[in-house]
Structure 1
Amino acid sequence: MLRIVNRVLLGFVGLVLVVFGGAVLAVGLGVDPPSWWPYDSPNDVLLSDADRTRWRDSGWWWPTVIAVLAVLVLLALWWLTAVLRRHRLAEVLVDTGDGEGALLRGRALEGVLTGDAAEADGVERAHAHLTGRRNAPEARIRLLLQPHVNPGDALRTLTTEALAHAKDSAGLAELPAEVRLQAAKHGAERVS
């Protein structure tokens, strides 16, 4: 969801900047603007003295400007932290059965998942990535399959072996996974 919001917001901001920047640049280069455009000539200013000082004497103006700018800064900081936040799960909470618990490094579980998935018959390459919360991890697995492999068989093997092994060894009730399968492409070879 955040990825979609990020792309839509970036696209919208970029479109607004390109449209208004391009329009101001076009007027500055001497292109005749439409009648509704606020700038008429290359010598026209973006904000006149009257526009800049119009609300200066009103008591509500500066608190409103500061509040709007503060909200914009907070939204920009939230957006930046959301984009830069690590999406990789750092640790997984393992139920030890004694009422306590242990922490397993997320990269260790990713390594085991990757190794088990890569050992399956017909898998040329595998990569696992953990997301979610530490008490409810989710796996994202990419498999590069050899051309002769049936994808259904590869997925069944992954589910019954690698994912089941990881789920059982970490003591998880469930380990939902998103699996992306891709067939390897090999170049043609000359046979004599």
Structure 2
Amino acid sequence: MSEIPYIAIDDYVSDLKVSDDAVFTGTGALVVPFTMIDISSESHFSHLKPNEHAFVSWLPLYDDYYWLFQCQGDLVFDKEEAYPGCINLYGQGQTLTTTGPFSFFYSTVKKPFRVDKISMTRHAWPFTYASRQARTGDINHHVNILDMRDQDGLVAIDDQFGQYMDDVQTDDLIRLNLGEMLGVDGL
């Protein structure tokens, strides 16, 4: 089961603007759209300002591409600054930036990932899901509601109201998470 790149906002943003080339701007806090690492210190991104950041997905996502997420905003916790030289992993759904002005966009890179293959002009559209859209409102016709359920895994856990996980499902979820952190498809 691979991650889906979700929209990086989780609350209603009254001044949200979405350009035709998939650049999102507004005021609010951003959330981590997929499990990713900070690559802002790469020489390819030397043009970034202090409050601009570049991230890439930890593993290829659902479409077998690596996804890049570039944003402008003040990070809640800058792992690159706190732990220089370490892998700075951000988990999907965590709060990424403080509340303030933001802008962000996504792009994709084929395997194997190389920084020089990143296109800063060819942007990709993220996804959303029903309960997130209920919080954010209808964003743009290009941000599609994901309407697929994995029969063997848990997708969009917060859409499973009234359901619970038994010990076997919890163990499977822990193994999957550990496998993704180690960079393998499963244990």
User: Normalization by structure 2: what TM-score?
Assistant: 0.19
Give the structure with the larger helix fraction. Answer: 1
Report which structure shows greater RCO (CA 8 Å, sep ≥6).
Answer: 2
Report which of the two structures shows the higher radius of gyration computed on alpha carbons: 1
